Structure 1
Amino acid sequence: MVKATTRKTSLRERFNISRLAIAYPWLTLSFWIAVAVAGLLVFSSLKYALLPDITFPVVVVNATAPFTDALETEAKLTQPIEQSLSSIPKLDRLRSSIYPNQAVISLSFGVGTNLEQSANQVETRLKQLNLPEGASYKVFPLNLNESAAVSYAIESPSKNLVDLTKIAQEEIVTAIAKLPGVLKVNLLGAVEQTTESVGAKHLGDNSSLLPTDSSPKASPDPNEQSPPTKQTKTSAVRLNGKDALAFQVIKKSDANTLEVVAAVEKEVARLQSALPEVQLILAATQAEYIRSATDATIDALLEAVIISVVAIFPFLWNLRATLISALAIPASLLGTFIVMAIYGFNLETITLLALALVIGSIIDDAIVDVENIMRHIDEGETPRQAALHATNEIGLTVTAATFTAVAVFLPIALMKGTIGQFFMPFGITVSAAMLTSLLVARTLSPVLAVYWLKPKSSKTSPRENRYWQSFAEGYRHLLSWSLKHRSIVIGIAALSFVAGIGLIPLIPKGFIPKLDRGEFNISYTAPINATAYLPDWLKSSAGVETDALGESLDVAKQIEAAVLKSPEVEKVFTIVGFREAEPNKGIINVALKSDRTLHTAEVQDRIREQLPTIPGVTTSVEDIQFVDASLGAQKPLQIALVGDDLQAVSKAAREIKARLLTIRGFEDVTTTGETGEDGTIFQIEHRSQKRTVYVSANLNRELTIGQATDIVVSEAKAVLPPQVTLALGGDSARSGEIFGSFGTTLTLSAICILFVLIFLFKSWIDPLVICLSLPLALVGGIFALLITNSDFGMISLIGFVFLLGLSNKNAILLVDYINQLRSSGYSRTEAILKAGPVRLRPIIMTTASTILGMMPIALGLGAGAELRTPMAIAIAGGLISSSLLSLIVVPVVYDIVHDRKPPSKNKN
């Protein structure tokens, strides 16, 4: 017994760096002043963004050959290329779209893969192939993070599109392209005078997948006799129902969107004054929503700071003690900014959310230290004696609580793939904030307490203390009753846990909540004659003339007219044929008025009903993607039907589509890659080198992705023949990946908690008792999601991981103090009944400050609130249940698992 006590004492001394901080106060203060100055300097250099910088490397191969049949293209061109490329290292996904004379093969590589190296590997493999005679290919390395930051329309009351094109190429595009952070500038809707000629063109001339960069063209000699000319247009652009020219600024993958947009705005202002005959009109931008979302998150963070500080004053009733505790917030934040700068993080939704959520937690350690120092002062000790004794008493407890919380977030920071890159900044930011707050509580807080806190002069207890003593005494009676009726308490806890688990099927499964972003896209695909896929030289020799772009533009005009009738719509920006090889496709960006009363999703549903029905035309009303998927945005719901028999696969896809069209909630249901009703084949899709037909759909607000996935899988199984298999795509596949990743992460987090506690407590019994808080926390989190009708998705899952890091703090406070009392001679029951009321105030204080600090986030105010709210709701609900149940269940379980051997009564 003596050896165990000595080991525990030495461990407490090891974690009591407060003694050194108190012995050298000016060194302590100087250190935190230096941290504050460095943090402020670093903060001014941090950049604002919407999401973390993630690299999505994609390489696209656009191959052409003189075939007139998609089957021939598949067999002689696509399959040899796919077989050659399928074994490239770090290849995640291989998809192909096959047309009569063209194949577009998309290779998606693992997040973080070097794009240039991957593109070189693709080039090397293709050079080794013996392609059919007349075949050619182009390789396009794409970084999907190189997205369109801003677009401007170019209009003029006195200039036609040919003149505007020349001005744009010579004056505007070249100037914008030189700005820092700009990768390239696409000129859309350009019209040029070209020499009319008949003859063979290079097969690759019509195979460009992306808009080409516009560059200045040499002006022809006006005195020279010109051959017949015609106007050539690669794409068409319209703004609010009028023809226009536009330039689209593509940022570099590592460039900050807001900085690029700010530079473009400044240059546009200069160009506007230099070109009075031209009007440069903002058509679309990411910057406005990014600014609104980050501003709203920062507001929530500041409100959390104020509320967390205000929440602890009624418990302490001491301005100086409240101020000492409150100083932990700015000190911890400034220290965290330094860590963020070291890792190269931005101030974006994920890191700002991490800071806002952690506000109530980083004050916890200081609260516990200051409250314990105040208690010792109230018992007659001097502030210096109280600081030394209280920090020695509480040091191991606070350290254990923080280390276990950090242990939860380390698995998040180490997650692999897209999800890992997405949430690594969250895990590291939270861990940095908590470790910094621990350092504040162990050094700065006790030093300030020594000089600022004073013994109470009044001999009578204030009224508020009497209220608190009455409350604590009531809790002591409840705890005493619980120890005498342990089976009832354990039964209630077990029933609560089972009920919580039973509620999970009732919570809608989601992926990412629909954002009230104030803008969305309408994409469409118009029918196109098969001859349009022929190369120019073959169309010319056959005397074929098609105006696919003009036909597609007519479709766009009809859709625009319907959209512009909506009173909520402020701006409509249309790009027709934004890919040269697909003139029949277009995308319409719809910006809504800021003073609208309807949610973006409500406007989408209304406009979807108002769109005209155009024979052969498919439309899709889509949310703005988080990543600018240059290969075409996938709809949230997508299933892939795979099989060699294309007719059987197509028949099954048509049957599934017909079923989904009769079910409420499924919108814009389309199939891709199927044969015609008469068996004709214009397009074939491959997924991992196998023939595939995709069934895709958007969802309205009545269905979550989880519900929709269950429905479509059920409907598909009812019609699928044996030779056709089903695979999930879109958000359905991502949801499965996320739930699988977080299942592993939660398990690793629980194991990390257990190992840290075993190391600190030198025992496995107490850590197991403490870990009972974890399932108790899940009960409240699940119930909170249910009553608020929040999705159980990626955002709320992060909330549950965060919850695991916080919920065991209360149990650690209780168990550690019980052990201290027992070591000093108290019996087990006496130690429990004394420790509970003593630790009641810090437990309620820390829980209240954390929950109230999350209220601005949980209330869902401001842009991007949908991303923040589910996380805060899950955490707040879980903390309430874990705190209430832990105050009773943990002491009861502790009483059960420890021996009943009566210890000595020596309390000295």
Structure 2
Amino acid sequence: MNLPELCIRRPVMTTLVMAAILLFGVIAYRTLPVSDLPPVDFPTISVSASLPGASPETMASSVATPLERQFSTIAGIDSMSSVSAQGLTQITIQFSLARDIDAAAQDVQAAIAKAARQLPPGMPTPPTFNKVNPADSPILFMALTSPTLPLSTVDEFAETMMAQRISMVNGVAQVSVFGAQQYAVRVQLDPNKLAARGIGIDEVQTAVSQGNANLPTGTLNGSHQAFTVRANGQLTRAAEYRPLIVTYRNGAPVRLQELGRVLDSVQNDKIASWVNDTRAISLTVQRQPGVNTVAVVDNIRRLLPDFRLLLPASVKLEILYDRSQSIRESVNDVKFTLKLTVALVVLVIFLFLRNLSATVIPSLAVPLSLIGTFAVMYLLGYSLDNLSLMALTLCVGFVVDDAIVMLENIVRHIEAGDPPFAAALKGSREIGFTIMSMTLSLAAVFIPVLFMGGMVGRLLHEFAVTIAVAVLVSGFVSLTLTPMLCSRFVRSHQ
């Protein structure tokens, strides 16, 4: 007993199998991630190092060269480039597609540790790295504005509350703050007043550093109790700095406020960010190479209601740009094209067969094949992107061919005078091997695409697998459901 005969004689079993394919496919479709293209980004890591006051030539020779020498020993590097500017060096390392970015990050971290002894001792912080491609555009732009609060307070919310929390979202590589206004006390010294008192700037700097200390003092131990002595010398506001004693002249203290102005300001007052002619703090989010853009944006958007609850009422949080919206729109356009293609195929079948039951039977192969393909896509970790949906659109004409061939052969026996049940058994037995050959030959066409290398091969891999799976599922439906329905619903001519 072959497969078509088994399904014809056991319609309940065939119906349950098709229902299972339908159920699993619908569940998989609802859980498939949405993306613009398959994840084919090269694993890229960006390393940054700073040395204030150093020229670009010094940064290139003293910082970039030792780091590049260590990075060159890492396996799987495709390309490496560096850019040196005034006090800053950025090295971009691009790995091969087969390299895991997390393992590559560990190798980069080890190389930075090895090169630490060769770097200048005056660097304020060790080199840092991010799993991000600097050439990749951000996926999300946000802005914080407030008509009443100072920008330094708004910046505190942006950098300490939002940026750190968003950085913890899976798939986020880097959160950058533009127009940052970090609070700082700015001391503007008057050269004439310094000269009149014979005080140098280094004395002022030393006095400010020593007067702004928060160090452990010690403990007082008694016979029954012990006390921890804490001297809190941390100064946080300009008003606390003004009476600070810098030095003594003629037995009288010289205070900081006598030498110039002490202001509540920001660390860098030469940068700013505007949104609709209003000063703002802007945040941009960049994703890691190879992750799903839509999934990352959705996870970030789930945090926004919590952020708005924690922010003061006068602070407004708004999204300026969302890259996932254009991705969703393009995917929805392809979905509409797919639905229109299915409708046109069914219409063409009806125009040629001119029989409602004969039209419905092969038409059922189209949705079942596509929905069954969704289940396989979920198992393989694919996403609903433009290429996979285009593959399903192209294969709509393929998946209905097998069912039409099976239907035509069974109808030929019915028109010859055989009962529908006997015609289904005889017709499916004759054409079963032909349908299997057609299905395998169509699927085999895309095998060479699976072995293509490089970026193009990685990009078309999901496309080829999706078409091949849809064709194989359609062949299975044509050998099981189609003959069973023909044996029950195609009527003989009287």
What TM-score results when the alignment is normalised by the length of structure 1?
A: 0.43
**Selected match of 2:96 from 110, 122, 126:** 110
Tell me the residue number matched to 2:456.
419
Alignment of 1:783-798 (within 5 A): none
**Contact 2:155–2:180 (8 Å) recurs in 1:** yes
Contact 1:90–1:109 (Cα < 8 Å) also in 2: yes
Identify if the C-alpha distance between structure 1 residues 186 and 69 changes in structure 2 by more than 3 Å, giving closer, same or farther.
Answer: closer
Report the Cα offset of residue 160 of structure 1.
3.4
- Structure 1: 5+ residue stretches without partners: 1-12, 202-217, 458-908
**Tell me, what secondary structure is at the counterpart of 1:280?**
strand
* Alignment-derived partner of residue 335 in structure 2: 298
SS in 2 for 1:455: coil
The 3-state SS of whatever aligns with 1:60 is strand
- How far 1:399 moved relative to its partner? 1.8
Q: Within the alignment, does 1:268 sit opposite 2:255 as a pair?
A: no
Report what 2:180 is aligned to.
190
- In 2, the alpha carbon distance for the partners of 1:301 and 1:37 equals 20
Distance 1:189 1:69 in 2: 25
Kept after mapping to 2: 8 A contact 1:164/1:245: yes
1:191 is paired with a residue whose SS is coil
Trace 1:747-896 onto structure 2 (pairs within 5 A): none
| Structure 1 counterpart of 2:149 | 159
Asked if structure 2 preserves the Cα contact closer than 8 Å seen for 1:335 and 1:436, the reply is yes
Closer, same or farther in 2 for the Cα pair 1:177/1:97, shift >3 Å?
closer
**Residue in structure 1 matched with residue 82 of structure 2 by the alignment:** 96
Alignment partners' CA distance in 2, 1:252 and 1:55? 9
Moved more, 124-133 or 41-50: 124-133
Q: Does 1:363 align with 2:349?
A: no
The one-letter code of the counterpart of 1:166 is: E
Match of 2:241 in 1: 225
Q: Say if 1:131 and 1:399 are closer, same or farther in 2 by CA, change over 3 A.
A: same
Contact map agreement 2:421 2:487 (CA 8 A) in 1: yes
CA–CA distance in 1 between the matches of 2:158 and 2:85? Answer: 34
The change in CA–CA distance for 1:408 and 1:321 in structure 2 (over 3 A counts) is: same
Quote the sequence identity (%): 28
The alignment status of 1:453 with 2:490, answered yes or no, reads yes
Q: Secondary structure of the equivalent of 2:131?
A: strand
What CA distance in whole angstroms lies between the structure 1 residues aligned with 2:104 and 2:374? 35
Shift of 1:354: 1.5
Paired letter, 1:231: V
1:186 partner amino acid: S
Tell me how far apart the structure 1 counterparts of residues 347 and 149 of structure 2 sit (CA, whole Å). 63
- Alignment deviations for residues 834-857 of structure 1 (CA, whole Å, 9 cap, x no partner): xxxxxxxxxxxxxxxxxxxxxxxx
Q: Tell me the amino acid that sits aligned with residue 124 of structure 1.
A: A
The equivalent position to 1:138 in structure 2, one of 127, 130, 137, is: 127
CA deviations 1:316-335 (Å, max 9, x no partner) are 11111110001101211221
Cα-to-partner distance string for 1:701-721 (whole Å, 9 max, x where unaligned): xxxxxxxxxxxxxxxxxxxxx
Aligned counterpart for 1:243 among listed residues 272, 276, 279: 279
1:38 matched to which residue of 2? 24
**Which letter maps to 2:487?**
V
**How many Å separate the matches in 2 of 1:374 and 1:254?**
51
Match of 1:52 in 2: 38
Report deviation, 1:60: 2.9
Distance 2:314 2:445 in 1: 61
Work out the CA distance in 2 between the residues paired with 1:126 and 1:31. Answer: 57
1:23 matched to 2:9? The reply is yes
Alpha-carbon contact 2:56-2:86 (below 8 Å) kept? yes
Shift in Å, 1:341:
0.9
Deviation at 1:64, TM superposition (A): 5.6
For residues 359-418 of structure 1, the C-alpha deviation after alignment (integer angstroms, 9 at most, x for no partner) is: 221111111111221122222222223223322332232222221221122332343333
Structure 1 residue identity aligned to 2:71: L
Q: Partner residue of 1:799?
A: none
1:446 CA displacement: 0.5
Task: State the distance in 2 between where 1:69 and 1:321 align.
Answer: 79
Deviation at 1:423, TM superposition (A): 2.2
User: Aligned residue for 1:791?
Assistant: none
CA distance in 2 between counterparts of 1:252 and 1:59 reads 9
* 2:383 matches 1:351: no
CA contact (8 A) 2:139 2:293 kept: yes
Alignment partners' CA distance in 1, 2:379 and 2:26 = 14
Distance in 2 (alpha carbons) for counterparts of 1:167 and 1:225: 25
Query: In 2, Cα distance between the equivalents of 1:190 and 1:184?
Result: 15
Contact 2:82–2:89 (CA under 8 A) maintained in structure 1: yes
How far did residue 219 of structure 1 move?
10
Q: Give the letter aligned to residue 334 of structure 2.
A: T
Task: Indicate the residue corresponding to 1:566 in structure 2.
Answer: none
Asked if 1 retains the 8 angstrom alpha-carbon contact of 2:131 and 2:288, the reply is no
CA change 1:100–1:49 in 2 (3 A) is: closer
2:321 alignment partner AA:
A
Change (3 A) 1:173 1:110: closer
RMSD, aligned α-carbons: 3.4
- 1:488 is matched with which residue? none
Secondary structure at 1:363's aligned position in 2?
A: helix
Q: Structure 1 residue 35: deviation in Å? A: 1.4
DSSP 3-state at the match of 1:94: strand
Q: Determine helix, strand or coil for the equivalent of 1:97.
A: strand
Contact in 2 for aligned 1:55/1:143 (Cα 8 Å) = no
Deviations 1:100-122 (A, max 9, x none): 76543322001241223223333
Larger C-alpha radius of gyration, 1 or 2?
Answer: 2
Task: Check 1:41–1:116 CA distance in 2 against 1; reply closer, same or farther (3 A cut).
Answer: closer
Secondary structure, in 3 states, of the residue corresponding to 2:491? Answer: coil
d(CA) in 2 for partners of 1:167 and 1:139? 24
| 1:453 counterpart letter in structure 2 | V
**Equivalence for 2:216:** none
One-letter identity of the residue aligned with 1:397: T
Q: Which residue of 1 aligns with 2:294?
A: 258
Instruction: Specify the alignment match of 1:381 in structure 2.
Output: 418
Residues of 2 paired with 1:67 and 1:244: CA distance?
29
| TM-score, normalised with respect to structure 2 | 0.75
Number of matched pairs? 426
Distance 1:417 1:113 in 2: 13
Contact 1:39 1:338 in 2 (8 A): yes
Letter in 1 for 2:104: S
Cα pair 1:42 1:338 within 8 Å, conserved = yes
Structure 1: how far apart are the matches of 2:30 and 2:99?
A: 31
Unaligned runs of 5+ in 2: 188-200, 206-233, 243-255, 257-261
Distance 2:368 2:293 in 1: 29
Show CA shifts across 1:144-200 (max 9, x none): 49974322222222233223223434665566566676566433212123244788x
Checking the alignment, whether the CA contact within 8 Å between 1:54 and 1:112 is kept in structure 2 is no
CA distance in 2, matches of 1:169, 1:316: 67
Q: What is the deviation of 1:336?
A: 0.8
SS of residue in 2 equivalent to 1:224? helix
Q: Aligned equivalents of 1:314 and 1:101: distance in 2?
A: 73
CA distance in 2, matches of 1:32, 1:351: 23
Distance 1:84 1:183, change over 3 A: closer
Task: Give the C-alpha shift of residue 451 in structure 1.
Answer: 0.5
Distance 2:315 2:88 in 1: 39
Letter in 2 for 1:220: T
- How far apart in 1 are the matches of 2:175 and 2:425? 64
Cα deviation, residue 99, structure 1: 4.5
SS at match of 1:157: coil
Amino acid aligned to 1:162: S
Question: Secondary structure at 1:345's aligned position in 2?
Answer: coil
C-alpha contact 1:110 1:417 (8 A) present in aligned 2: no
